[in-house]
Structure 1
Amino acid sequence: MSEFMATSAYAGVTISLVSYGLGAWLKKKFGFGFFNPLLISIIFTIIFLCTCGINYETYNEGAKYLSWLLTPSTVCLAIPLYEEFELLKKNAKAVILGITAGVLTSLATVFVLAKLMGLSHENYVTLLPKSITTAIGMGVSEELGGYVTITVAVIVITGVIGNILGEFICKLFRIHEPISKGLALGTAAHAIGTAKAMEIGEIEGAMSSLSIAVAGILTVVFATVFAGLI
């Protein structure tokens, strides 16, 4: 199997798509929040690779083509934002302040936890970009001296948790305003949270799409400041 994976150009892509399809089917059939398609696909892929004795490098050689779609898919998130542009202009101040508050809360939380757990500087800066999209987070982690591979894992985990629990938390704290829910999901859980926001509604999806870009820029700026605290 390992030899087949090494010689096949698209085996990694096939495994990834089949795994995600399985997760999407489980989510549709049972409707249970923890049957998140991305989470299921990660678990299934890991089990498959371990069972068949396939190393990550061999798998990634065939799956890397999916990564090429990351940037254009992120750009496409501008479409729902464009459709709700008038709403954005009416609430511009609240939107900017809300995203800024979310970014600062994320960074401050990592700082406090790092202090309490006695993390090294490298481990600390690795976690700082946990709530922004992978494309930006990898660059931030590398620039600050963190472990990029761990940063990617943390970003994915953060997004999956936000996707699973985001709507429940909004209901728990009686947050009913669509703009607020969209900003919260996008700022805290980046693109994976935005996928959930789009399921909830058009306004939530538009605001969440905006949050990804603005939160990414603000994190780049503020992370440099927070990185010097430890």
Structure 2
Amino acid sequence: MRELISTPIFGIMISLIAFEIGCILYKKTKVPILNPLFTSIIMVMCFLTIFNINVSDYDKGGQFISFFLSPATVILAVPLYKKIKLLKAYALPIVAGITAGSLVGIITVIFLCHLFGISKPLDISMIPKSITVPIGVEVSKQLGGIPSITVAAIIITGIMGAVVGPYVCKLFKIEDKVAVGVAIGTASHAVGTTKAIELGEVEGAMSSLSIGLAGIITVFIAPVITKIFENFI
């Protein structure tokens, strides 16, 4: 048994099984907080703790999964290509909305971290919280953050966006489908997009499109905003 645990196959299989169970739970319950990504993380953590398995053993397989995150970023070009006509029709409001959302997200993190006295490494690590993991990790490295903290921040942001995003849109009476999709995709990347897809085809498409654009915009503006507000970090 020990020989199996020390191989990469163990980490890969545990991750896949936990995620599949999470998918089944979410399909049966439709409870936003039971997002497959969130529940699979909890299950893996509990499994490793109960059976006293070292994280380093699990990570031998986890590293293989992490390796494919960056190449997987290329798939973000698919929703952009599929909805290119919709993007052209609403180009200015879409780009303006995503840019504004990305700016507000970054500045809010900086000021809240300053308000609560959070250290600079943690502050910087949470700046890319609203973009997809592969891009967010690279932005974090570029800024001098801690990638593991960035991943945790991205996951939490995505889950919160999926849970409260639709309610926020209802609260502020945002009924335009394009606006709803852009808001959810910009604020909570792929995890939020899973909820946007449930809301409707247009919402899901615009949210998917926003993931890629928000990531690209953040890559360029994050270093600039960080430099401007460096006294608050």
Runs of 4+ in 1 over 6 A off after TM superposition: none
Q: Is the 8 A contact 1:162 1:188 kept in 2?
A: yes
Q: Where do residues 188-199 of structure 1 align in structure 2 (5 Å cutoff)?
A: 188-199=187-198
**Structure 1 residues 27 and 42 mapped into 2: Cα distance closer, same or farther (>3 Å)?**
same
Partner of 2:200: 201
Structure 1 CA distance for aligned equivalents of residues 83 and 215 of structure 2: 21
Q: Distance in 1 between matches of 2:212 and 2:177?
A: 19
Q: Contact between 1:178 and 1:203, CA under 8 Å: does it hold in 2?
A: yes
Code of the residue aligned with 2:226 in structure 1: it is A
Is the Cα contact below 8 Å between 1:103 and 1:218 reproduced in 2? yes
Q: CA deviation at 1:72?
A: 5.0
- Paired positions, count: 229
TM-score by length of 1: 0.90
Aligned: 1:130 with 2:126: no
Q: Which moved more, 1:198-207 or 1:155-164?
A: 198-207
Q: For residue 180 of structure 1, report the CA deviation from its aligned partner.
A: 0.9
1:183–1:211: 8 Å Cα contact kept in structure 2? yes
What is the aligned partner in structure 1 of residue 10 from structure 2? 11
Aligned pairs for 1:134-213 (under 5 A) are: 134-213=133-212
Shift of 1:63: 3.1
Q: Structure 2: how far apart are the matches of 1:202 and 1:72?
A: 26
Amino acid at match of 1:216: G
Q: Quote how far apart the aligned CAs of 1:152 are.
A: 1.2
State the distance in 2 between where 1:96 and 1:198 align. 20
Partners of 1:80 and 1:205 within 8 A in 2: no
TM-score (norm 2): 0.89
> What SS does structure 1 have at the residue aligned with 2:173?
coil
Q: CA deviation at 1:4?
A: 2.8
CA contact (8 A) 2:177 2:202 kept: yes
Q: CA deviation at 1:96?
A: 0.6
Q: Which residue of 2 aligns with 1:47?
A: 46
CA contact (8 A) 1:36 1:164 kept: no
Task: Say if 1:84 and 1:203, in contact at 8 Å, map to a contact too.
Answer: no
Deviations 1:87-136 (A, max 9, x none): 21111000011001100110111121012112222222111111111111
What amino acid sits opposite 1:66 in the alignment? I
* Aligned equivalents of 1:73, 1:166: Cα separation in 2: 25
Query: 1:169 Cα shift?
Result: 2.1
For 2:97, give the aligned amino acid: G
Give me the CA root mean square deviation.
Answer: 1.9
Per the alignment, residue 69 of structure 2 pairs with 70
Give the whole-Å Cα distance in 1 for the aligned partners of 2:24 and 2:164.
20
- Describe the SS at the equivalent of 2:34: coil
Alignment of 1:63-142 (within 5 A): 63-71=62-70, 73-142=72-141
Does the CA-based 8 Å contact 2:140-2:147 persist in structure 1? Answer: yes
Separation (CA, whole Å) in 2 of partners of 1:164 and 1:2? 39
The one-letter code sitting in structure 1 at the alignment partner of 2:87 is L
**Percentage identity across paired residues of the two chains:** 47
- What CA distance in whole angstroms lies between the structure 2 residues aligned with 1:141 and 1:83? 29
Measure, in 2, the Cα distance between the counterparts of 1:123 and 1:71.
23
The 1:143/1:126 distance shift into structure 2, 3 A limit, reads same
Change (3 A) 1:144 1:74: closer
Moved more, 172-181 or 43-52: 172-181
Distance 1:180 1:133 in 2: 20
Matches of 1:181 and 1:117, distance apart in 2: 31
**2: CA distance between counterparts of 1:126 and 1:198?**
29
Contact 1:2 1:54 in 2 (8 A): no
